[in-house]
Structure 1
Amino acid sequence: MTIARTATPSTARAINDRLALELLLSHGALTATELRELTGLSRPTIADLLERLQRGGLVAMVGERGEQRRGPNARVYALRADRAHLAGIDVRTVGVTLTVADLTGRTLADAALPVDPADPPADFADQVLRTLLATAEQAGARELHTVAVGAPGLVDPATGELSTTSRLQHWHGELVAALRAGLGAEVILENEVNLAGIAEHRIGAAADRDTFVLLWLGHSTGAAVVLDGRLRRGFSGGAGEIGFLPVPGTRGLPATRSCDGGFHSLAGGRAVCALAREHGLVDGPGADDAPAAEAAVLAAIAAGPAGEPFLDELAERVAVAASAVAVLLDPGCVVLGGEVGRAGGSALAERVAARLARLSPVRTEVRAGTAGGGAVLSGAVLTASDAVRRDLFGGR
């Protein structure tokens, strides 16, 4: 037997307020009439909630709009974007980039702080904190409500702590503690590829999919798994650590704290650069980082037919991991992200799709990522924005 429950007046008000705030966030400024039409609520209910939200500092009247009728102009209401400020931070071995945004997620100021991976200063975590505070001041933010940090490594879902799976910088483990001690704000730590997956899901190539896997191809390799609209982290936060996947074509096997010998050795930045040298696309030793791998892929595409053998072999390698993802999860869609995936675009995605169709019986679409080079940072801002809205608007 089902027991019907009627919402209490306070619960109904909270639900109505949250609905109105979400509409103002997604539609921009609205009149009371427009809110009434979008929500289906009565005129008195809309009037009450607008007064309540103005008292709470979440909504402000921003002007008037002429209507096609007699009488006074309609008042226009908007979300107060300055009600709370947030930040996103993208952590790499070569430094950090960060963005300060308002309640709507609009970027107000950003900054980059590079570091020499071979000789990082002992106080680099504190330097990041000072840079963030200075950037927030530049943006006119007196305080930050929430900061989301994307970092390499496993983030334990139970503790929120970072555990590394390879040789990372000492300041990676120190940064979140420095931020929490110096900000007095909520600091959310998330794996950087997971944040890129959130960006592709919300504003990128998988915006129309509830289930997909982002295959990250950059300095290292990784994956973000989104099933039924939810990011899946796994029991220990290790879902998507595809760099450790044992694959043919490498000279060994990965180990607990090193993905050398796994898929990383087949398609990480160093491997892509080495492949480009084999095909004559790169002269001399050069760099073996993500920008160099990206440049190599772009050079192959620009070379036309001369670059196709390189792209074909790279696609063969990527298809190995995509096949493992397809037969284990059957996501229906794999998005290629990271510097290499972004540079390869449709040329690489189409090649991977053709090879995947021969490897796997599971029908899987392959798309090029479209969230751009700032996908991790965009995902961090989206994650921080969601947390702020949950706090200020209520709900999940």
Structure 2
Amino acid sequence: MTTARTATPSTARAINDRLALDLLLTHGSLTATELRTLTGLSRPTVADLLERLQHGGLVGIVGERGEQRRGPNARVYGLRADRAHLAGVDVRTVGVTLTVADLTGRTLATAALPVDPAGPPPGFARQVLRTLLDTARQAGARELHTVAVGAPGLVDPATGQLRSTSQLPQWHAELVDELRAGLTGEVILENEVNLAGIAEHRLGAATDRDTFVLFWLGHGTGAAVVLDGRLRRGSSGGTGEIGFLPVPGTGGLPDRSTCDGGFHSLAGSAAVCGLARRHGLPVPGGGADDAPAAEAAMLAALAAGPAGEPFLDELAERVAIGAAAVCVILDPGCVVLGGETGRAGGAALAGRVAARLAVLSPFRTEVRAGTAGGGAILSGAVLTACDAVQRDLFGGL
């Protein structure tokens, strides 16, 4: 027989404090009366927790509010958003974008550093670090509590190190090392598609889903797997590396060092651009066949009306092949199409993939277009850094 354990006074205080902090995050500033109503706690308990949180520098009085009664105005309490600062960093082969935010996740400053993939300048990783520190100072941050970095490749769950699964630039790994050496706060490294999946779950197309898969269709292909509300990474950090998925129609097979011949060869940006040309659609970029070119080709197909439908049908068939392989293993019930190509395809592409998937898979699977936007990776990085800061400052309860 087990016996229920009674919470100690200190544990009860910590739980009440975290409840109040979460409500202030969700609702913004609140009066003590509103906190009592939302928490169900007594007047003395709310008064005590507000005093503790003010003393700890997490909550402050942000104004007054007139009540529908006689007497003085009620004090309004809010989070001290400047109590800690954080940053999100999105690392791509074509450059880096970053955002500095406050404790609530509100953007304070942004910066972008483009780079020539064929020849990054010497010391580019150090340049990114300097830009991040300069941007933080411009935002009024003396230091960054946590920085979350999204990059392509495998992030080893045991070591936190980045391992490339293809020919990624050397400066990617150098940048992570530079940030960890040059910053006093924690640096969290995460696969970039996983961060986009977090953004779709918290802000985008999958807010009503605890289980779904994000299919990333951009320069490369990838997936973020969320099961029962938790992001799954796998034993080596490789969950979702669908670019390596062997599929029919590529004329070859991938190997451990390159995803050529895998699903990447069906749905990566070069494959999408090639398919568009074969269907007579314009592809800008002078043969670069990068993610912006694939996005433009998709938009051209949508604008072409009936003339663009054969391209959409064939691309949907390709995407559905990869999605079917994932769905018959995981049965996620929902697939979100993200990345430049997936977002640009919108409902037209999602509907076609859903129809084809219904034929290929015995499981009912809804297909949605991503709505977290072009900054999904950066948004996911900021959310991840925010969670880490709040766990630390709010006590982890």
**Which range, TM-score by smaller chain?**
over 0.9
Match of 2:151 in 1: 151
Q: Distance in 1 between matches of 2:42 and 2:142?
A: 38
Match of 1:184 in 2: 184
Match of 1:302 in 2: 303
TM-score (norm 1): 0.99
Match of 1:384 in 2: 385
Match of 1:344 in 2: 345
| More off after superposition, 64-73 vs 263-272 | 64-73
**1:51-81 per-position Cα deviation (integer Å, ceiling 9, x unaligned):** 1111111000011111111111111000011
Letter of the 2:58 partner, please give it. L
Match of 1:247 in 2: 247
**1:15-45 per-position Cα deviation (integer Å, ceiling 9, x unaligned):** 1111100100010000000001111111001
The CA deviation at 1:287 is 2.0
Q: Distance in 1 between matches of 2:179 and 2:41?
A: 43
Find out whether 1:312 has 2:313 as its counterpart.
yes
The CA deviation at 1:122 is 2.6
Q: Distance in 2 between matches of 1:332 and 1:155?
A: 27
Match of 2:358 in 1: 357
**1:125-160 per-position Cα deviation (integer Å, ceiling 9, x unaligned):** 101100101110111111100000000000011111
The CA deviation at 1:162 is 0.6
Match of 1:169 in 2: 169
Using the aligned pairs only, state the percent identity.
84
| More off after superposition, 277-286 vs 207-216 | 277-286
Q: Distance in 1 between matches of 2:259 and 2:163?
A: 15
Question: What SS does structure 2 have at the residue aligned with 1:101?
Answer: strand
Match of 2:93 in 1: 93
Q: Distance in 2 between matches of 1:92 and 1:62?
A: 40
**1:225-266 per-position Cα deviation (integer Å, ceiling 9, x unaligned):** 000000000110000000000001102100101000000000
> Contact conserved, 2:226 with 2:232, CA < 8 A, in 1?
yes
Match of 2:120 in 1: 120
Find out whether 1:286 has 2:284 as its counterpart.
no
**1:166-190 per-position Cα deviation (integer Å, ceiling 9, x unaligned):** 0111111111111111111100000
Question: What SS does structure 1 have at the residue aligned with 2:378?
Answer: helix
Match of 1:328 in 2: 329
> Contact conserved, 2:276 with 2:283, CA < 8 A, in 1?
no
Match of 2:367 in 1: 366
Question: What SS does structure 2 have at the residue aligned with 1:348?
Answer: helix
- Runs of 4+ off more than 6 Å: none
Consecutive unaligned residues in structure 1, runs of 5 or more: none
How many correspondences in the alignment? Answer: 396
Letter of the 1:335 partner, please give it. V
Q: Distance in 1 between matches of 2:396 and 2:40?
A: 20
Q: Relative to 1, partners in 2 of residues 1:335 and 1:22: Cα closer, same or farther, differing over 3 Å?
A: same
| More off after superposition, 199-208 vs 62-71 | 62-71
Q: Distance in 2 between matches of 1:317 and 1:356?
A: 10
Q: Distance in 1 between matches of 2:93 and 2:376?
A: 17
Q: Distance in 2 between matches of 1:166 and 1:266?
A: 16
Match of 2:199 in 1: 199
> Contact conserved, 2:302 with 2:308, CA < 8 A, in 1?
yes
The CA deviation at 1:7 is 1.2
Find out whether 1:28 has 2:28 as its counterpart.
yes
> Contact conserved, 2:273 with 2:283, CA < 8 A, in 1?
no
Question: What SS does structure 2 have at the residue aligned with 1:77?
Answer: strand
The CA deviation at 1:286 is 2.5
Q: Distance in 1 between matches of 2:281 and 2:71?
A: 71
Q: Relative to 1, partners in 2 of residues 1:205 and 1:283: Cα closer, same or farther, differing over 3 Å?
A: closer
Q: RMSD value over aligned CA atoms?
A: 0.9
Q: Distance in 2 between matches of 1:302 and 1:138?
A: 42
TM-score (norm 2): 0.99
Q: Distance in 1 between matches of 2:20 and 2:386?
A: 17
Question: What SS does structure 1 have at the residue aligned with 2:292?
Answer: helix
